[in-house]
Amino acid sequence: MSWPGFSFPFGAWFFLTLIPLVVLYFLKLKRPRVEISSLALWQSVVNDQRVNSPFQKFRRNLLLLLQLILLMLVILALMQPFISAGPETVEYLPVLIDCSASMSSKVNDADETRLDLAVEQVKGMIDNLRGNGKIALFTFSSGGRRLTEFSDDSQLLLRALQKVEPTDRASKLDEVLRMAEAYSRTASVEKVVVITDGNLNDQVDFELPFKLDIQRVPTGGNNLGITEMTARRSGPESWDVFVRVSGSATETAYADLRLLKNGETIGKEAIEASVEDSERVVFSVESKEAALLQATLTAKDFDSLQIDNSVWLNLPNTRPLKVYAAEKLYSWQHALSVQTETELDTAAEPSLPEYDLIITDVEDLKGSTAPIVVYNGLVPKELQDLISVAAVTENDTPVQIMDWLQTAPLLRHVQLRDVQIAEKAKYINDADSQALEERGYEVLIHGAEGPLMLQRRRGLQTEYYFLFHTDRSTLPYRVAFPILVSNVTEFALQQASLSEVAATATGVLPAISVAPNREYQVKGPLAGTYNVTSTPSGILVGVQAETVGKYDIFDGEELVASVGTGLLSSLETSLRPVDEIQFSEVRVATDEVKVIDSDRHIWWSLAFLAFIFLLFEWWYFQRAKGGLAA
Amino acid sequence: MRLNPLRRLTNRSRGEHLSGKGGSSTDFADYRDYAAGDDMRYVDWNIFARLRRPYIKQYLHEEELHVVILVDASSSMLFEDKLQRAKQLAAAFGIMGLMNVERVSAYAMHQKKDEPWMLPPGSGRQRIRNLLQFLEGVNGGGDVPIEKAIETMLRFHRGRGIAILLSDFLTFSDLSRSMNLLFSAGLEVWGMQILSESERNPSLEGDLRFVDSETGETLDITNAGELLSLYQDHRRWQEQTLNQQCRGRSGRFASVSSALTLESTLFDVLCRQGWVLR
C-alpha cells in the first residue's frame, strides 16, 4: 500500500488553525450555571456514567472532538490528497508514444483509435505530474521524434500532446530508445515509459540502460489489409501481379479486392483471410507501357485499420535488357547470348547512352551509363596506390581464393574454390580491406595476398571490378561462370525493374530519374505541395512519403511521374500485440494492466466525510432536545 | 383522622391509643390463666362457674403515642415549595396527633439561629397553636445533613411512637444508621420524601454546571439530556432503598411531589397507603 500524496502540501499550514479552535473552544466553553437542590443524585449519576462509559473523557469534550475532526478533514481535503499511481517517484520520465500505423486502428465503432487511448493515458500521467517530476514526450513509428524537452509545464506538454498524430509507418522501437538513451545522459533517467499497442517486433537490438515500462493500450477490432504487392514479368508484355491480403482475427474475414490500372478496374476478387491464413491473389495484367496499379480492399465487416487497404505499384515499360559486352570478352558474350529478353551489344565501343548492363575491360565507357557495370581485369584508378596486379610468374605462389561474399547478388550459388588465376592482385603500401572500404570499395572475393573482386556503389549505379581478367583464369570454364553471368543479368533486370517490381512502402519514395538540377513539385495525398530538386545526375531522391497514397511529381504544369505507396507491413496489419520483447540482455513484458493508471484523488471523499461529521454533530446535539420534547 | 401506627409503640402514660392487652379500657382483648397476685377484680366469674378454673379477663390498654415530626428545612427544601409542603404536612400530622391526645413534638432541620428548631413534646388541642406558630416560624436554609439532625433530635427526645421524617432525602450519606437510632429509640420510622416536579422529571439539556444549593459545590454535566434516563433510574433506586429502610424498621415510606395538592396528598395518597385512618 502506498501512502497518499498531496497536490497542495502547503495547505498543511492550515493545521495551525486548530490552535485557535482549541483556544476559542475553551474560552467559549462557559457552561450555564444551574442551581439545584442537591448534587447527591446527579453525582451518583455521573459516577455511574463514567464507570459504564470508557469514552466519557472524549464525550465530555465531544463537541471539540467533532469540530477538530471536521476542521482536519476540511484541511486534508484542501491539501488535495491522492492515491499515487506511481510515476511521481521518477524525477525525469521520458514517455515514448507509439504513432505507428496500427495505432490509428479503431478500437470500437465509435471511431476511437488506439492512439486516442494512448494520448488519454499520457494526459493522465501529465495530470499526475508533481514535485520534481519532469516528462519528455517522444513519438515513434519507424523513427523517433522528440516533442518536448523534460518539462513539468503541463500546459506545454498537453499542447505537444495535441499534435500527436498517427503515421502510416511501421513501428520500430530501437531508434527512439537510442534517442531516449541520449537524453538519459543529460538527466537522471531511471525509467522510460512506452505507450504502445504492443504491435512491435518482439526482438530489439538495444541494450537497455534504464528500466523500460511498456504499457499497452487495449487492442481493437478485426482488421484486413494488403501486406504485399509485387509484379513479376510473365511475358514480353504481361505481368503477374501478386497481392497478399492478411487478417488479424482468428475468424475468417471477407473482403473484395480490386485492382485498378491507371484508375480503371481491371480485376476483382473475393478474399477470405484470417490471422492464420493469409490469401495471395494473382492478377494477370497486360501492359506494354508504364502503368500505375492500385490494389484496394473493401472489407465486408468491421475493419479497424483503413490505411492498409490501398497499395500502389508502378509497372515499368516492358523491353529487353540492354547489355553491352566489350568486343573481346567472348566468354561473357557467349554466356549472355543464351539469356532471354536480352539485347546484346558487342560493338567495339558502347553506342547507346544508357544500357542496363555494361561489361567491359576498359575504363572509358565513352559516355555510356548503366545501373550495373562490370569491369574485367581493371584496378580502379583511385586504388592503384593500394593494389597492384601482375602476372603470376613461375616463382610466385599460385593465387588462392580464400573467401568470397556469397550473399552478394552476383556471387549467389557461385563456387570459386578451384578456380585458377594467372594474375595476382596484392596489397601494396601496407593497405588492407579497411583502407579500401574507406575509399568506398567493398571486397567481394578475397585472395591470399589481396582482393580479387571489388564492389562500389555510386548513387543508383553499382560497379563491380574483377581485378584479374577472367580470360586469364579458369573461371569461364567452370560451372560457376554461367551462374555468375545469370546472376549479373538477373540483378540488372531487377535494377531496371524489368523482371520484378514491388510496391513501395511508406517512408521515402524510390529514386526517380528526371532532368538534373531541376526543381519539381510533389503533390501527395495530403493537401499542399512541396518542392524537391533533382541531383546533378538527374535523380529525385529522398522524397518524403509518410502517408499512404499517390504522389504526383510535376515539372511546372507537366506531370512527370506518379508513384504510390502503401503500408505493406504484415506486423502492422496483424495488429498483433507482443507479450514480451527480447532486448539484447533482458526480456521486457508488455503489460496491459497498467493502462490508463492514474492517481486517484480523494479530496472529495474527505469533503464528504466532513459533511457527514457536520450532520452527525448537528444531529447529536439536537436529538436530546427532540427526545425531551417527545 | 388519626395516624395509623404499625406496631403500636406507645408510652406508659395513658393516651387514646389502644396499646395492647392488659389495659383498663372497656374494650375486651383476651383471657389468660390466673396467676398469684393478680387483681381479683379481673377474674371472669362466669367462666370460673362453668369451668371451675379462674381466668383473668384482659382489656385493651389505651396509651399515649409520641409523634415526632422532623421537617427538613435545609436549603435543598427551599426549591419549588418543598418546604412549604413539608410544613403543611407536618401541621396536618401534628394536628392529627394533638386532636387524638398524642404527644407531639416537632423539629426543624436548618441552620438559622434566629429561627425555632424544636417544639417540645406536648399534647392537647391547645398545643395546635404552638405547633402552627412553630412551623410558621421556620423559613429554612443552610446545610444540615438529615442524619446529623436526627442525632440531635434523639438527644432531646424521650418516648416511643412515630418519627415522621419530612425531607427530600437528597443526601450523600447512608441513612441506615440514623434509622436504626430512631428505631432503637422506640420510634417507627415514617419517611415522606417530598420532591419538586423538576426533581422528579427534570427537563435539562446541553452542557451544564450544577451548583449545590447547600454546599455551593459544582458539578459539570455534558449533554444532560442524555443522562436523564440514568437519573430516573437512580431516583427510583433511591426510593426503593428508602422504602426498604423504613419498612425494615416497622415504618412506612412515601414519595410525593410538591406539585401535588395537599388534599390529594392527605386524602388520597396517604389514606391509600394506610398512613392515616379516616
pTM: 0.51
B134 shares a domain with B167: yes
The Cα B68–Cα B165 span in angstroms is 8
Q: List CB contacts (< 8 A) between A37 and chain B.
A: 75-79, 82, 168, 170, 196, 199, 213-214
pLDDT in tens, A444-468: 999 888 899 999 988 778 999 999 9
Confidence of residue A627 (pLDDT cuts 50, 70, 90): very low
β-sheet with B103-109: strand ranges across? B118-122, B103-109, B66-72, B161-167, B187-195, B252-257
pLDDT for the residue B232: 92
* A359-366: long-range pairs with CB below 8 Å, 24+: A359/A323, A359/A324, A359/A325, A359/A326, A359/A329, A359/A332, A359/A488, A360/A324, A360/A325, A360/A326, A360/A329, A361/A326, A361/A328, A361/A329, A361/A469, A362/A326
A104 shares a domain with A200: yes
pLDDT for the residue B8: 60
The ranges of chain B with pLDDT < 70 are 7-27, 29, 60-64, 114-116
Q: Are A370 and A354 in contact (CB under 8 A)?
A: yes
Confidence of residue A596 (pLDDT cuts 50, 70, 90): very low
Domain boundary, last residue among A564, A590, A615: A564
Q: With an 8 Å Cβ cutoff, is B229 touching chain A?
A: no
In a domain, A367, yes or no: yes
In a domain, A500, yes or no: no
A235 shares a domain with A105: no
Q: List CB contacts (< 8 A) between A45 and chain B.
A: 227, 230-231, 234
Has residue A434 got a pLDDT over 60? yes
* Chain-chain contact of B228 with A35 (C-beta, under 8 angstroms): no
Q: Are B112 and B142 in contact (CB under 8 A)?
A: yes
The Cα A140–Cα B2 span in angstroms is 115
Looking at the complex, report in whole angstroms how far the Cα of residue B15 sits from the nearest Cα belonging to chain A: 40
Identify the residue among A28, A42, A44, A50 best suited for mutation to test binding to B, counting B beta carbons within 10 A and taking the highest.
A42
Q: ipTM of the predicted structure?
A: 0.79
In a domain, B1, yes or no: no
B95 shares a domain with B56: no
Longest CA pairwise span in chain A (Å): 145
In a domain, B3, yes or no: no
The Cα B261–Cα B251 span in angstroms is 24
Q: What is the CATH number of the domain that holds B156?
A: 3.40.50.410
Looking at chain A, the whole-number percentage of residues with pLDDT higher than 90 is: 13
Domain boundary, last residue among B48, B63, B78: B63
Q: Give the distance from CA B265 to its chain's centroid.
A: 15
B203 shares a domain with B264: yes
Q: Which of A494, A615, A509, A507 is nearest to A560 (CA)?
A: A509
* Chain-chain contact of A48 with B234 (C-beta, under 8 angstroms): yes
Q: Are B260 and B269 in contact (CB under 8 A)?
A: yes
Nearest residue of B to residue A45 by CA position?
Answer: B231
* Chain-chain contact of A31 with B220 (C-beta, under 8 angstroms): yes
Looking at the complex, report in whole angstroms how far the Cα of residue B75 sits from the nearest Cα belonging to chain A: 7
Rounded to the nearest 5°, which phi and psi values hold at B93? -60, -40
A583 shares a domain with A485: no
* Chain-chain contact of B205 with A59 (C-beta, under 8 angstroms): no
Looking at the complex, report in whole angstroms how far the Cα of residue B204 sits from the nearest Cα belonging to chain A: 8
C-alpha cell at B192: 415522606
Longest CA pairwise span in chain B (Å): 85
pLDDT in tens, A277-303: 888 899 998 887 888 899 999 988 888
Looking at the complex, report in whole angstroms how far the Cα of residue B118 sits from the nearest Cα belonging to chain A: 24
In a domain, B254, yes or no: yes
H/E segment holding residue A40: helix A40-52
Lowest mean pLDDT among A56-60, A90-94, A258-262: A56-60
In a domain, A392, yes or no: yes
B108 shares a domain with B214: yes
A392 shares a domain with A456: yes
In a domain, B8, yes or no: no
B123 shares a domain with B48: no
Domain that holds residue B150: 66-277
pLDDT in tens, A359-376: 999 888 888 889 999 999
Residue A163 sits at the vertex; the CA angle it makes with A159 and A167, to the nearest 5 degrees, is: 160
Lowest mean pLDDT among A158-162, A566-570, A598-602: A598-602
